[in-house]
Amino acid sequence: MTEVSGLIETDRLATLSVNGSDSLFWDGVASLYTSFYIWIPLAVAAILLLIRNISAKRLLLVLLLVAVTVLLTDQLSSSVFKPLFHRLRPGRDPYILNMVDTVNGYRGGLYGFFSGHAANSFGMGVWFVWLVRDIRLGLSVLGWAVINSLIRVCLGVHFVGDILVGSIAGCLIGSLTYCIYYLVSRKDRNRKPVHGSDLIYTSTGFMRSDVSVFLCVLFGTCSIILIGSCITQGTVLI
């Protein structure tokens, strides 16, 4: 029990060191970044990337298994871990709630272990890493997942430990469902041309130009978030 208490206390200290920015601008960025609606264009770009590079049969299988991934990560978090461990969120933890910075008074639900946001983000992120296998996309998508997860700590609705365990769970579940896809679809897998194709196609047959379009939407959305926070908070970046 002493070791567990030590880990919990360390997690509290780590969370307080990350939580809060004392800046309306960055609070606005955090709120926009975790909004579902801001990422709809990226979801559309992802679907278009799939439509242009895989068969209709494989597309349906990908969408099904990604949905299963999100369902499994979400339900494992909300229906198994949170009711089982009953770990209060930082903004509801009586030991530190007065030291936790929140945005617009939002503290989330009662329990937060582990983070469903982190699990979902990494579950989908790992899926795209395995599926497309482009180093630019891999680093960008995983970077997106890391930021999306850490922002939950900045908002005061999760501990660092919630994020860490959620990230691991998402990676494991995403990899597992991708393995199912790999085994089922191996007879119908993309085959890239042989001669001089590495600059045009990824190892799984995705056109790098289409990947570039997806990345433009990703970074464009991030730029919109920064600009949107400037406008809504009335601040100017110097």
Q: Can you point out the beta strands (E) in the chain?
A: none
Answer yes or no: is 97 within a domain: yes
Which amino acid, residue 158? Answer: H
pTM more than 0.95: no
- Of 10-19, 20-29, 98-107, least confident by mean pLDDT is 20-29
Counted domains in the chain: 1
Answer yes or no: is 28 within a domain: yes
Q: How far apart are CA 133 and CA 138, in angstroms?
A: 7
Largest CA distance in the chain: 64
Torsion (CA) 128, 130, 133, 136 in degrees, nearest 10: 50
Nearest to 168 by CA among 108, 110, 111, 115: 115
* Whole-number pLDDT of residue 237: 44
Summary mean pLDDT of the chain: 87
- Across residues 210-222, what is the average pLDDT? 96
- Across residues 125-148, what is the average pLDDT? 94
- Across residues 3-9, what is the average pLDDT? 81
Compute CA 147 distance to the chain's CA centroid, rounded to the nearest angstrom.
8
Half-sphere exposure of 201 (CA within 13 A, CB side): 15
Answer yes or no: is 238 within a domain: no
Nearest to 125 by CA among 101, 103, 104, 142: 142
* Whole-number pLDDT of residue 21: 66
Residue-wise DSSP of 146-190: HHHHHHHHHTTSS-HHHHHHHHHHHHHHHHHHHHHHHHHHGGG--
- Across residues 104-131, what is the average pLDDT? 90
Answer yes or no: is 10 within a domain: no
* Domain encompassing residue 56: 23-233
pLDDT band, residue 36 (cuts 50/70/90): confident
